[in-house]
Amino acid sequence: MLRRAILRGQICLLASLAVLLLWQLPSSGVVGLETGEQVTVSMNKVWPINNPTEMYPYYSLPFCTPPEVQTKYMTFGQIMRGDRLVNSLYNINYRENQERKPICERALSEDDVDAMRNAIENSYMFEIFVADLPVVRPLGIRTKENGQIKYWLVNNMDFNLGYNEGQVVAVNITTDVDLFDITQHKDGMKAQFSYSVNWFPSTIPASSRLQQQLAGSFTHHTQSLDIHWLAIINSFVLVLLIVSLLLLIILRVVRSDLSKYLHIPDEELTAGGEEESGWKLLHADVFRAPQHRMWFCALVGAGAQLFLMVIGTVLVGTSGLYLFERGGVLTFAFATFLVTAFLAGYLSAWLYRKLGGQKWAWNIVITAMMFVGPLFVIWSFLNSVAWAHQSTAALPFTTVIFLFFSWSCVTVPLTVLGGIMGRSNAAKWVDAGQAFPCKTNKLAREIPQCHWYHAPLAQMFASGFLPFSAIYIELHYVFSSVWGTKIYTLYGILLLTFVMLLLVASTVSVLLTYFHLNAEDHRWWWRSFGSGGSVSLFFYVYCIYYFFTSTRMFGFLQCSFFFGYSLLVAWGIFLMMGFVTFISNFVFVNYIYSRIKSD
């Protein structure tokens, strides 16, 4: 029965990955265009510039609408980003110029004018795709003439298209000529929408056309990018100094303790000639199972899964693979999260069995739900809000089915399979009496009263603040991309920042754990996890600060999305960083206690 279940899980895994890869394949509609062949032009969405995730379908505003609105091909990542590509009335042929030509004349009612005026007042932007190259332009402009505010609607677009190697390699759209005045509604008001097309040869290679198109809209200019690198390198040097000092302290103190202890003859240890002190007194209690070990192991397993997902995504972004494909990095992150569920189940069950846990089935279930559970609750609320506002941020029903299918047929079977293998592997060590370097007594040692700076809150504050101080510079650039329309491309800097975060968090946590054990308190399991997880608290506080100081977001939809998804990311950081610091402490504790002699 078990083999059949595993086989079914593998079949579901292959089917899901095949569907995902087919969904991600790029469209081939712009390959090898001949002169006169039609170029695909798609309309995407509209949104207020201050609320970039408050997205609406393009034809939700009174534009010229095709007789039949058809949805265009989109990758999984584009759908998750809120893109909703539909057909348009613009008829563009490859390398054929077109004089100004009307596409329709739209009668505007008073409600239509109010909707357009409100959109211009809130600085709405729209996005259009020409041969899969995106262009973002304002919906209109607001001017002030002789003390009177006037609203001008963009109704004419001049397409300037570059061609090379049989493809459209550059797109620029001029929208600031012959605007239509919609300041006041008039009886019989009609707006005529028109366009023109001008082709020119370009030297941009077809292979890098998307990169060049997006590069024109990046805000990271050369000078600011140099300053960005300089700030990160400066932080990296300071972090290395801090880590070096902390490691020097740990190595000198621990090596001193071990050398003094190991140079004592066995006769003196047996006769009691030298009394143990500090952390050495805890050899019979340091590997005692923590309270709520099932939940603790599930947290560790879920954190390991997120850690691998982040590492893989950052490395892919650094390599440039999928970097300029809209939603490509997001799709890769999703696929990585699915397949790394095996490690989550393995590590959680392995640790749970070593700690003497017996309810392994519940342990696997909780591990599988540890991140997905909060994700589903928050997403359900935010998706309902987006659906109520008729925003494209609400996922389509087919996408929801695909996500559930992927999780139930890939993540869950891999978690179960990893859990079975982890439990079996750990059982061999437990049966051989080698689960941990030291045996644990039945009765727990009395814990002495510690100083205030040994308290969990004090140590969590120190272990959270120092790592966060190493990454807060890069957070501003990440937030500008996540809560804006730009694609984040500085993955090299992000990788360097992530390495700094791991170094500082691990080093500070190990040092605090050593001080904690030296105070003769063996309860290090939850503290080691919480020391890294406390970074998430500073992250969420920074999110609140960023919202009120660097954004002009407003409205229930945007605020709920910002704080809801920020809370979800903070929970993911808690799991991931908790896993990192726990593993660092686990290796450290196993090392020092495997070097001492105990009965």
- The pLDDT tens digits for 388-447 are 998 988 998 988 998 998 898 888 999 999 999 999 998 888 887 777 888 887 777 777
Confidence of residue 159 (pLDDT cuts 50, 70, 90): very high
Q: Are 500 and 470 in contact (CB under 8 A)?
A: yes
Q: Nearest to residue 311, comparing CAs of 499, 95, 139?
A: 499
Contacts of 378 (CB under 8 A, 6+ apart): 564, 565, 567, 568
Would you state the structure tokens that stand for residue 53, as one six-digit string?
Answer: 């995730």
Distance between CA 235 and CA 49 in Å, rounded? 32
Asked if the model's pLDDT at residue 375 lies above 60, the reply is yes
What is the enclosing helix (H) or strand (E) of 191?
strand 190-201
Residue 306's pLDDT is: 95
Confidence of residue 221 (pLDDT cuts 50, 70, 90): very low
Confidence of residue 30 (pLDDT cuts 50, 70, 90): very low
CB burial of residue 478 (10 Å; 0-12, 13-18, 19+): middle
Report pTM.
0.85
Confidence of residue 8 (pLDDT cuts 50, 70, 90): low
Neighbour tally for 245: CB within 10 Å:
12
Neighbour tally for 104: CB within 10 Å:
14
Confidence of residue 230 (pLDDT cuts 50, 70, 90): low
Q: What is the mean pLDDT of residues 75-100?
A: 89
**Angle (deg, nearest 10), helices 535-550 and 456-469:** 50
Would you state the structure tokens that stand for residue 2, as one six-digit string?
Answer: 């078990």
Residues of the chain with pLDDT > 90, as a percent, come to: 32
- The pLDDT tens digits for 530-547 are 999 999 999 999 999 999
